[in-house]
Structure 1
Amino acid sequence: MEIFETITYEQKGAIAIITMNRPDKLNACSTFMYKDIDKALDIIEESDEIRAVIITGSGDQAFSAGADLQELNFENLKQSRKYIDIDAKTFRHLENIPQPVIAAVNGSAIGYGCKIAIISDITIASEKAKFCLPGTSFGAVHVIMLGRALNVLGRKRLANMLLTGEMIDVHQAERYGIVNTIVPQDQLLATAEKVANKIASFPPISVQVTRRMLHRGNDDDYRWEDLLSPGLLLMEDVKEGQRAFIEKRKPKFTGK
């Protein structure tokens, strides 16, 4: 049995449930969480029994508050490239497993959390859910979302999220195409399981082919991330933005 540090993993019949489990950090994603999710996806991908996957967060405050900023203080390109390799590997894996992925968004989905909601095949959200892509506000660039989110949101809506960094509520997220269904908080997981079990009852080959076709062409976006993100993470403005966020003060950007 695989041991996980930052997630819980459960198989219920033909569905697997991955729960991001750092409630004290609002389920912020550390490199340990990336690796734990990747290990869970290995189990899922190799299983002939699992037909659908649910990913959610623990607690009732956050699906995920984004990347763990404590880990983003890189001194050189080797360090930042290693981080991006771990990050991108997990997202690639999430998109490339045969089984459809359902995001059950139980609270705030910020940065990394919002990305999961966007790249998942179906997103079911509670009435408390909120969504935000704030990277530009502290000097970072959501490279993957510039490609992967374009077909979901369209250029104008994606530009609004990326360039303003504003939080949108679940109803606006539904209008934007991020969310398929809004449900009360206490019905979220049950609704996600109902959808997952319905998908699991269908012929698996047709489901898997449909999923692969829906996600075709995604490798080009990841190649851009591999190329651009390691250098972007070393910019002084990114470091200043992270320091200011942690210190709860207004950042002083210099364009470097």
Structure 2
Amino acid sequence: MSPAPAVPLAAAKPAPLTRVDDAGVTTLTLDDPSSRNSLSEEMLAALGETFRAIAADRSVRAVVLAATGPVFSSGHNLKQMTARRADADRGRAYFAQVMDACAAVMQQIVALPQPVIAAVQGTATAAGCQLVATCDLAVASAKAQFCTPGVHIGLFCSTPMVALSRNVTPKHAMEMLLLGEMVPADEAFRMGLINRVVPAGEELAAAQSLARTIASKSTLTVATGKKTFYAQREMALGDAYRYAAAVMVDNMLARDAEEGIAATIEKRPAHWEDR
């Protein structure tokens, strides 16, 4: 799966996104609580640029996506979008550019060789909920809530629906989309939107712990598995088995599979070469 091309937006100011690297785990933090960590022009541009850099960085083995403040992300920046209604085309070209940029970032996450784990400390709504659903794993605070509220403002959450409908059952997805109600963390867990619920304040540490566990594995194996997972689920059953079998044959011939199997037989720790 090739990374989706990111659509550049003209960032008017430095993006409120921070990056910390620690022993193979990169933590990215949305740090714009004044806009409720909206997916503004600046934030989308920064996320796109950062994910492109991470995809090529062999030192990064797993990624944690966190946020500051009471809101994980409120989704698109409606103030920026509303301001463009004054354009000659009533904002059509700008709206399309923003939607393309957001979709590209979501596809970058899926195509990234490294797993991405969301650490959700607060509310994730609309495209913010889409962002959580797009991540490979998600850990949430017991105080976190999730919502696709576009139906309340006459703007159906059609693009968040893409990620949401690929993570939860159709009826759960439609319930969220049609009612626009807040879903508490324990219900989101039951629906399959998130992996784990932890006490408030422990979500980042829990996500980083998962990331460190993943970082201890062969990066070749993890990247192969992630790519295969997303590719096969779009296929018919027979095609999926043929594709996965071919991947497994290639994987069996990789140096890390040879080492891992030998280590298991010999009852010793494996020494990964990531090839």
Task: Note if 1:109 corresponds to 2:124.
Answer: yes
Structure 2 residue aligned with 1:206: 221
Bigger mean CA offset, 147-156 vs 48-57: 147-156
Structure 2 residue aligned with 1:27: 37
- What per-residue deviation string (whole Å, max 9, x for no partner) do you get for residues 44-86 of structure 1? 1110110110001112x11112211102224143222222222
Name stretches of at least 5 consecutive residues in structure 1 with no aligned partner. Answer: 220-256
Which amino acid counterpart does residue 20 of structure 1 have in structure 2? L
Bigger mean CA offset, 134-143 vs 189-198: 134-143
- CA distance in structure 2 between the partners assigned to 1:91 and 1:217 by the alignment: 18
Name stretches of at least 5 consecutive residues in structure 2 with no aligned partner. Answer: 1-12, 235-275
The CA RMSD measured in Å over matched residues stands at 1.8
Structure 2 residue aligned with 1:132: 147
Equivalent of residue 199 in structure 2, options 168, 172, 184: 184
> Any residues of structure 2 matched to 1:36-185 within 5 Å, and which?
36-59=46-69, 61-73=70-82, 74=85, 75-185=90-200
Percent identical: 28
Alpha-carbon offset, residue 148 of structure 1: 2.9
- CA distance in structure 2 between the partners assigned to 1:100 and 1:214 by the alignment: 12
Classify the secondary structure of the residue corresponding to 1:215: helix
- CA distance in structure 2 between the partners assigned to 1:217 and 1:110 by the alignment: 29
Task: State whether residues 105 and 126 of structure 1, in contact with CA within 8 Å, keep that contact through their aligned partners in structure 2.
Answer: yes
C-alpha change, 1:80 and 1:218, in structure 2 (3 Å) is farther
- CA distance in structure 1 between the partners assigned to 2:232 and 2:28 by the alignment: 26
- CA distance in structure 2 between the partners assigned to 1:63 and 1:10 by the alignment: 18
TM-score, normalisation: structure 2: 0.74
C-alpha change, 1:87 and 1:147, in structure 2 (3 Å) is closer
Alpha-carbon offset, residue 151 of structure 1: 3.3
- What per-residue deviation string (whole Å, max 9, x for no partner) do you get for residues 123-167 of structure 1? 000111000001122122333343332232111100100000001
- CA distance in structure 2 between the partners assigned to 1:83 and 1:113 by the alignment: 14
- CA distance in structure 2 between the partners assigned to 1:117 and 1:143 by the alignment: 16
- What per-residue deviation string (whole Å, max 9, x for no partner) do you get for residues 185-222 of structure 1? 22211111110010011011111111112222799xxx
State the structure with more CA Rg.
Answer: 2
Bigger mean CA offset, 155-164 vs 74-83: 74-83
Which amino acid counterpart does residue 138 of structure 1 have in structure 2? I
- CA distance in structure 2 between the partners assigned to 1:189 and 1:147 by the alignment: 26
Which amino acid counterpart does residue 129 of structure 1 have in structure 2? A
Classify the secondary structure of the residue corresponding to 1:151: coil
Which amino acid counterpart does residue 53 of structure 1 have in structure 2? V
Question: Across the two proteins, how many residue pairs are aligned to each other?
Answer: 216
TM-score, normalisation: structure 1: 0.79
C-alpha change, 1:4 and 1:17, in structure 2 (3 Å) is farther
Task: State whether residues 150 and 158 of structure 1, in contact with CA within 8 Å, keep that contact through their aligned partners in structure 2.
Answer: yes
Task: State whether residues 132 and 138 of structure 2, in contact with CA within 8 Å, keep that contact through their aligned partners in structure 1.
Answer: yes
